[in-house]
Amino acid sequence: MKKLLVAAALVLGLAGCSTATGSSAGNSAGETLTVFAAASLKASFTELAKTYEAEHPGSTVELSFAGSADLATQISQGAPADVFASADTGNMDKLQQAGLLDGDPRVFATNTLAIAVPPGNPAGIRSFPDLAKPGTRLVQCAPQVPCGAAAAAVETQTGTDLTPVSEENSVTDVLGKVISGEADAGLVYVTDVKAAAGKVEGIPIPAAAAAVNSYPIAALADSRNLAGAQDFLDLVASPAGQQMLADAGFGSSRQ
């Protein structure tokens, strides 16, 4: 009888261990990672998210794209997220100074401005100063947005005074207005021109080399999935992740 009781106890104990292990594995496999990223990262981070999910079966990456300033504001106001990738260091610095980051941010890519025009370039834009010609419907990012700050730097560099008909809160909104024909030209990133190939034509801006945007990424202190956040940061910095970014037109951080 005692032997039967001991055997039963062992069976129950093993069953309990098996259930606990299965539960733990299920939670790990089903974790969600929330990534806030600059609008210009949409194409590349969508691909990176797919790679992450393939490497973490059962996990889900929820992506939220917007202007870096808007995302930083949302995070500072308590929006739940695990990772933040900004199109500039300024907005990331604000979160770091507020104690909202887990560790130091890493710069993982760079980007520069280009002029996007509709196919055929009906307004005849050939250079950055052409954007200031009377009657030109120029759209650019608002000053607080990284692409807007870069545009201001190029204005200073070239001695050009731009008068846009509209200032947008994200670079994708600028690009959308050029694609829809609402603008003769838009100041976007070289990566946006590449992503919209066939829908817009790109005109390089030599002076933009003096206004390179550095893209930092960091895990957030209030993350509910810090392990997953770290894995995502490692993926972005990995050779495979860097190749995806290079394919999208981003420059190397070399940091």
> What pLDDT tens digit does each residue of the chain (255 aa) get?
434 333 333 333 333 333 332 222 333 357 999 999 999 999 999 999 999 999 999 999 999 999 999 999 999 999 999 999 999 999 999 999 999 999 999 999 999 999 999 999 999 999 999 999 999 999 999 999 999 999 999 999 999 999 999 999 999 999 999 999 999 999 999 999 999 999 999 999 999 998 999 999 999 999 999 999 999 999 999 999 999 999 999 998 764
16 in any annotated domain: no
Residues 203, 132 share a domain = yes
Residues 190, 115 share a domain = yes
Please tell me whether 180 is known to bind a ligand. no
User: For the CA atoms of the chain, what is the radius of gyration?
Assistant: 23
**From its phi and psi, is residue 111 left (phi > 0), alpha (psi between -120 and 50) or beta?**
beta
Residues 121, 138 share a domain = yes
Please tell me whether 171 is known to bind a ligand. yes
Contact 110, 221 (CB under 8 A): no
Q: What is the DSSP letter of 113?
A: E
Residues 205, 126 share a domain = yes
12 in any annotated domain: no
Residues 219, 138 share a domain = no
- In this prediction, residue 165 carries a pLDDT of 97
**CATH code of the domain covering residue 88:** 3.40.190.10
Residues 227, 162 share a domain = no
Contact 122, 182 (CB under 8 A): no
Q: Give residue 127's domain range.
A: 111-210
User: Which of 26, 44, 10, 9 lies closest to 240 in space, CA to CA?
Assistant: 44
Average pLDDT taken over every residue of the chain: 89
How many whole angstroms from its chain centre is CA 228?
17
46 in any annotated domain: yes
Alpha helices in the chain (DSSP H): 2-29, 42-55, 68-76, 89-97, 146-158, 171-179, 190-195, 226-237, 239-247
| Alpha carbons 129 and 254: distance in angstroms, whole number | 31
Please tell me whether 28 is known to bind a ligand. no
Please tell me whether 52 is known to bind a ligand. no
Residues 159, 93 share a domain = no
In which order are the strands placed within the sheet that holds 83-85?
A: 60-66, 32-38, 83-85, 213-220, 101-111
Residues 203, 116 share a domain = yes
Q: What domain count does the chain have? A: 2
25 in any annotated domain: no
User: Which of 60, 48, 5 lies closest to 225 in space, CA to CA?
Assistant: 60
22 in any annotated domain: no
15 in any annotated domain: no
Residues 220, 106 share a domain = yes
